Structure 1
Amino acid sequence: MKTGKLRENIYHRSVVKQLKTKNDTVLFDQNHGLQYSIIDSEQDDVFVLSQSSRTDYFPGYEDMAVYTAVNDVVTSGASMVGILIHLIIPEAVTEKNLKQMIAQMEEVCAFLHTQIMGIDTKVSVHVLKPIITVTGIGKNKKDQLILSTQIKPGNDLILTKWIGIEGTFMIAEKFEKELLSRYSFSFIQTAKKYREQINLAPEAATAGKSGVTAMYSVSEGGIFGALWEFAEAGGVGLEIDLKKIPVKQETIELCEFYGLNPYELLSGGSMLIAADDGNGLVRELEKEGISSAIIGKVVDGNDRIVYNGEDRRFLEPAKQDEIYQLFES
């Protein structure tokens, strides 16, 4: 099997189908189209949990493990409570390294007003790089949940910010020296600043107040992977205009330099939203300083089609993210 996110067909065939045990307290689980699980309580509140693992570890990227879990939680309309961290580190990691890793995650949590409620840390001879697993825990009113499975035909499909955010700044940071042989220092610095765009809480809050139908965090597998997964969650079709998908010049340039497909590149920091009134939502997001664009329509059926002028292609389940072509080399 390839490095990265498990292919969808293998995940459902060899993982989900083995899970038979149910608990009435679990209203929705993460194994059926959602990016989170929802646990009932005796009151009107529910708890929303999402788990994210980062095995593609590089020093300084600990915050991305936190953001991935938090972003998944807030797309349900929930507000964050805290996170739990499971950390496996190799023997080569020093105490100084460990302190730096924890400090970066704490800094992000302080920014997000989210508590680290526990950290289980193990040292293992069986790992070469740290493995970070973060469980995000949020809270919401039961009648205010926004489930990705609620996407429906007739909805406009909106993308916030632009694609390739996370992958672009990771490439710019890790390969800065090589890239400076072709691009200017200011160009690389602009790409590196994409890191500041990862947090989805602001647009999730605005979308939630605007009465949207469903939200979905774009991450590993890029926009093409997220479009397929979002549509699959609701059992709907899509008609997408490729030319309307926002993409920055820095992303295009870096992908061309390394021969990557920007539409299948790690895109943490952008979110898909299904809404009845896409134009109205775009205006509300703009008021909050958040760029967005209507990129297509949700339709009946199971065909997920991307149009590029007169050409069209059918979307497929997410492939291995393009970032691994560089980070495995």
Structure 2
Amino acid sequence: MLPPGKVPPELLEKLFRYLGREDGRVLLGPGRGIDFGAVDFGERVLVASTDPITGAVEDIGFYALHINANDVAVSGARPRWFLVTLLLPGNTDDELPERIMADIDAEAKKLGIAIIGGHTEVTPGLDRPIVIGTMLGEVEREKLVRPDGAKPGDAIVMTKWAGLEGTSIIARERRKELSTVFGEDFVDRAASLIEYISVVPEAMVAADFGVNAMHDPTEGGIANGLHEMADSARLGFRVYPRKIPVREETRAICEYYGLNPFALVGSGSLLIAVNRDRAKALVEVLLSKGINAAIIGEFLAEKKRVAVVNGGEQPFPRPKTDELWKIFEE
């Protein structure tokens, strides 16, 4: 039986055999570690991505808009058009779908995105709403940033902090319990981390700077994101866990529930592959824009994927499932 969350990479590889007819205008199709598809429109490229929100209830519309916008932005494209499908549980009243769409509308206006279609239905068997989004964007052809563009020796730059989305979701879903343990001010700070979830600003900065690849880690957090990025480029990596930024709120919540912050759903952070000799300059540019950033490792030609701990290398495994599911399984 498959675990909750993304299907294992080995199964995903099998699914890539079923891609319909060949089309020469497809510049980038499905693959491991690839967040978007790209279609040739001459001087410009249409970029498309789709993602569901299944683990959150509160602010689900907010998450749906930004998660999908992030997947388009990592291509260097500006997100422009959004389609949304609402699947609602059987006990839904009129207020829920309107609240979800109002949230999507508000966030779309902030990023300059038009909502152009979708579908809404009450779906038997659901115990919570599911929102599935499809985002479209466009970019000049020569400025497209491919997800498989990382090169051996590239530095890995990470923006913001690990586990931002997961921290915010847990704080909202377990507010009463966490308030008793840590206090209401702490929970308010943890819940407010949702405000950092968009990577569109830093992706546009990185694209203008000139980088080799970008990836926004979602399910499985920073750990899975590193593996997905290496999968796409067919590389290994070396990471320095002590250099991975983690906020105090995330660290405390993860210690309380026994979670690994590196494997906690990580939307809001961006992983960037950039030439080693330009990495410090990129970090400085991001910091000058008010975006936290750090160099956390490098990509390797050899296929090993390791962490440096106490001066030695040890395996850095791919998470089998996101740490957030442990909260919901309880």
Q: TM-score range by the shorter chain?
A: over 0.9
Matched with 1:139 is 138
Question: Given residue 75 of structure 1, which amino acid in structure 2 is its aligned partner?
Answer: V
The answer as to whether partners of 1:164 and 1:266 remain within 8 angstroms in 2 is: yes
What amino acid is aligned across from residue 324 of structure 1 in structure 2? W
Alpha-carbon offset, residue 20 of structure 1: 5.5
Report 1:119-130 matches (<5 A).
119-130=118-129
Secondary structure in structure 1 of the residue aligned to 2:253: helix
Query: Could you tell me which residue of structure 1 aligns to residue 326 of structure 2?
Result: 325
Rounded Cα–Cα distance in structure 1 between residues aligned with 2:187 and 2:194: 12
Kindly indicate whether the alpha-carbon contact (under 8 Å) linking 1:8 and 1:317 is maintained by their aligned counterparts in 2: no
**Alignment match, 1:184:** 183
TM-score when scaled to structure 2? 0.95
Q: Which moved more, 1:52-61 or 1:249-258?
A: 52-61
Unaligned runs of 5+ in 2: none
Q: CA deviation at 1:123?
A: 2.0
- Given the alignment of the two structures, is residue 26 of structure 1 paired with residue 37 of structure 2, yes or no? no
Please give the secondary structure, in 2, of the residue aligned with 1:17: coil
Matches within 5 A, 1:212-231: 212-231=211-230
Q: Tell me how far apart the structure 2 counterparts of residues 135 and 155 of structure 1 sit (CA, whole Å).
A: 31
- The two structures have a TM-score, normalised by structure 1, of 0.96
Are 2:60 and 2:131, in contact at CA under 8 Å, matched by a contact in 1?
Answer: no
The equivalent residue for 2:234 is 235
**Distance (Å, rounded) in 2 between the aligned partners of 1:251 and 1:311:** 26
1:163-202 residue CA offsets vs partner (Å, 9 max, x unmatched): 0100111111111110122212222221111111001111
CA distance in 1 between partners of 2:56 and 2:271 (Å): 26
**How much has 1:12 moved relative to structure 2?**
1.3
The structure-2 alpha-carbon separation of the partners of 1:219 and 1:59, relative to structure 1 and needing over 3 Å to count, comes to same
CA distance in 1 between counterparts of 2:99 and 2:308 reads 46
Residue range with higher mean Cα deviation, 258-267 or 115-124: 115-124
RMSD across aligned positions (CA)? 1.4
Q: Percent identity?
A: 31
Residue 88 in 1 paired to residue 87 in 2?
yes
Give the corresponding residue for 2:306.
305
2:156 maps to 157
- Could you tell me which amino acid in structure 2 is paired with residue 131 of structure 1? I
CA distance in 1, matches of 2:302, 2:257: 36
Q: Secondary structure at 1:269's aligned position in 2?
A: coil
Once residues 24 and 93 of structure 1 are traced to their aligned partners in structure 2, the CA distance between those partners, rounded to angstroms, is 44
Amino acid across the alignment from 1:149: D
Using the TM superposition, name which of 99-108 and 182-191 deviates more: 182-191
Contact kept? 2:16, 2:30, Cα under 8 Å: no
Aligned pairs, how many?
327
Distance 1:125 1:177 in 2: 30
Compare 302-311 and 107-116 and name the one that shifted more: 302-311
Matched with 2:10 is 9
Pair 1:181–1:127, CA change in 2 (3 A): closer
The alignment partner of 1:30 has SS state of: coil
Amino acid at match of 2:186: F
Match of 1:287 in 2: 288
Structure 2 match to 1:72: 71
How many angstroms does 1:316 deviate by? Answer: 3.4
8 Å Cα contact 1:8/1:318 also seen in 2? no
CA deviations 1:202-227 (Å, max 9, x no partner) are: 10111111111111111110111000
2:56–2:169 contact (8 Å) kept in structure 1? no
Residue identity matched to 2:72 = V
Q: Is the contact between residue 221 and residue 266 of structure 2 (CA under 8 Å) also seen in structure 1?
A: yes
Structure-2 residue corresponding to 1:52: 51
Residue equivalent to 1:38? 38
Segments of structure 1 that go 5 or more residues without pairing to the other structure are none
Residue type at the aligned position of 2:305: R
